[in-house]
Structure 1
Amino acid sequence: MALVGDAYEYFDPRFRDLTVPIAEVEVLFDGCRWAEGPVWFDDGGYLVWSDIPNNRMLRWVPDMGVGVFRADSNFANGNTRDREGRLVSCEHGARRVTRTEPDGTITVIADRYKGGRLNSPNDVVVKSDGTIWFTDPTYGILSDYEGHRAEPEQAGCFVFRVDPATGEIAVVADDFVKPNGLAFSPDESKLYISDTGLSHDPDGPHHIRVFDVGDDNALSGGEVFVEVAPGVPDGFRVDVQGNLWSSAQDGVRVFDAEGRPLGRIKMPQMVANLTFGGPKRNRLFIASTHTLCAVYVGVSGAQRP
């Protein structure tokens, strides 16, 4: 079912080369409370995503439809895959980051820092060296809707990095209000991290910052890359050309590598997150409030070697 016929708004002529004007936004599933964390499994030819308030993860298979991937997901939010293709998930309910092994068992990657429980890990990426980077705002402990209400045990809302060899967890950024989505540039020299503090404070941030990534994986810089409005830049991805595709209240907003706005994919529901998938990674899967949608675009998502 097509959701939007005239799907695009062009701010810059370059956006036309990034779209397929005749491609419509298609609804793949409509039955979530808050869709989040889409991740594509190319080897299996399917997509997995989170439905946080319903405490489940769903799976969409082309020509077969949607089924339950994990019935009790611990209120999972963001998902990705590591260098071995294993699913890595942020769990609000258990306040941890986990890895699903090939036999289905769950390995805890991180759940505490300096003796205290994490807030509620939100989104996660894995660098080509195997390091795991995740954000830890308080959304999952603010109420019982997306997790379990609790008092924070951390001194703030941090961005963390985990060493896969030692399991050591380190803070890489500590000056965010509500760190949320994150993604590397195609060459991994830059890390983009969003701050969605506007969600609970009308004067809070709603921007994406950009950091330089050193050879030792230390971050420097951190200036504002773009402000996203209306709404907040919850989750986002980067394509092979370095353009950034961000969630927003009115759809998916696209920026070039210098932060200049290129265009928008119109959506009638607030977008939470998105990912590139399909055999050529040129299909954009969009988690949009109650729905999982998809649209073919004119560029492929960045796939690190």
Structure 2
Amino acid sequence: MPAEYYDIRDERFRRLIHVNARIDTLWSGGRWTEGPAYFAAGRYLIWSDIPNDRILRWDEMNGQVAVFEQPCRNQNGHTVDLQGRMIACEHRGRCVSRYEIDGTRTILADSYAGKRLNSPNDVVVKSDGSIWFTDPSYGIDSDYEGDAAPMEQDGRHVYRIDPAGTVSRVIDDMKQPNGLAFSTDESVLFVADTGRTHFPGCKPKIRRYPLAADGRSLGEGQDFIVCDTGLFDGFRVDAHGNIWSSAGDGVHCYAPDGTLLGKILLDEVVANVCFGGPKRNRLFICATTTLRAIYVNTLGAPVA
């Protein structure tokens, strides 16, 4: 029954879901699905199947799935910029790239301080056009999701690409920064730390960093929420400021104050999510080998 999909921890969660809504499996056959991004103008969703080195495309009008690009340099996270272009994090390319309107590819960032990036993982665009991305080491740790290679940076960090193209480091106190998203008013940047994969003592958490008055730098970060099952990976914020995050047992929903409101339970580890559909009220879920979706009673935060 649909009600079995939900673990309600707080009555506020009931107002954010449709208890009779089922989880739809839109596609299966991946190895590690990631990086969903919804393109409203085309009514389609793209996502990564990282070990298989391909991007897939789901057509909302007919439910068909096709390969969007293969090989794709082991792309991971994606987002859509203010002009509707695709921004991609490339493991094997060790860069953040942009797909232009004419179909050409532009590399936006592949180094910092004269040294190659590790393997950009997830990315978000701020309303001023700046691009913020995480750079853990997963794509250079082995040949499974990229090319094994030595790390050139002094750690795993978070960066900002200015609209003029300048790359700056904005966070340097994390073990393996992963998913990230701004609060609805862009006053806070939330970043997941999956450092437990490499550092056993690292708590599986999302940290919060206040945006400075200049709009380009961040204040001191603090731990915000800790995952009770598995790790937080990718996540999104809805129009009310709630955080919908991937986890080991499904999707966890947190109130703006950090209270766990409830979970959407799945039988696979979830890697990432995004809101989409004409009303932005459908949650698309990349769950290890599958792409799934469920209608919720909230909307994804509006695109600036």
TM-score w.r.t. structure 2 length?
0.97
Show the counterpart of 1:141.
140
Structure 1 counterpart of 2:211, from 189, 208, 213: 213
Match of 2:56 in 1: 58
Structure 1 segments of 4+ aligned residues over 4 angstroms from their partners: none
Asked whether the equivalents of residues 188 and 208 of structure 2 are also in contact (C-alpha less than 8 Å), the reply is yes
Structure 1 residue 149, shift from structure 2 partner: 0.2
Instruction: Indicate the residue corresponding to 2:8 in structure 1.
Output: 10
Aligned to 2:41: 43
State the match for 2:110 in structure 1. Answer: 111
Q: Which residue of 1 aligns with 2:171?
A: 173
Distance 2:228 2:144 in 1: 25
SS in 2 for 1:231: coil
Does the 8 Å CA contact 2:3/2:19 hold for their aligned counterparts?
A: no
Q: Which residue of 2 aligns with 1:88?
A: 87
SS in 2 for 1:141: helix
CA contact (8 A) 1:246 1:252 kept: yes
Query: How many residue pairs align between the two structures?
Result: 302
Return the alpha-carbon distance in structure 1 between the equivalents of residues 221 and 199 of structure 2.
21
SS of 2:220's equivalent? strand
Distance in 2 separating the partners of 1:297 and 1:212 = 28
Displacement of 1:229 in angstroms is 2.3
Q: Is the 8 A contact 1:32 1:289 kept in 2?
A: yes
Deviation, structure 1 residue 200: 2.8
Does residue 262 (structure 1) correspond to residue 261 (structure 2)? The answer is: yes
User: Are 1:126 and 2:110 matched, yes or no?
Assistant: no
C-alpha separation in 2, matches of 1:128 and 1:78: 19
CA shift digits 1:103-157 (9 cap, x unpaired) = 1100000001111110000000000000000000000000000000000000111
In terms of fraction of residues, the more strand-rich structure is 1
Amino acid at match of 2:241: G
Q: Where does residue 34 of structure 1 map in the other structure? A: 32
Q: Distance in 2 between matches of 1:82 and 1:170?
A: 19
Aligned twin of 1:70: 69
SS of residue paired to 2:253: strand
Aligned counterpart in structure 2 of residue 199 of structure 1, from 182, 197, 200 = 197
Structure 1 unaligned blocks of 5 or more: none
Match of 1:276 in 2: 275
Q: Distance in 1 between matches of 2:235 and 2:10?
A: 20
What residue number does 2:252 align with?
253
- The amino acid that maps onto 2:194 is T
Separation of aligned partners in 2, 1:30 and 1:180: 24
| Partner SS state of residue 257, structure 1 | coil
- Contact 1:91/1:121, CA 8 A, preserved across alignment: yes
- The letter of the residue matching 2:156 is C
Q: Which residue of 2 aligns with 1:230?
A: 229
Partner of 1:291: 290
2:17 aligned with 1:19: yes
Question: Considering only aligned residues, what root-mean-square deviation do their CA atoms show, in Å?
Answer: 1.1
- Cα distance in structure 2, aligned partners of 1:121 and 1:143: 15
Task: Please give the alpha-carbon distance, in whole angstroms, between the structure 2 residues aligned to 1:103 and 1:198.
Answer: 41
**Cα drift, residue 202 of structure 1:** 2.7
- Paired with 2:57 and 2:301, the residues of 1 have a C-alpha distance of 22
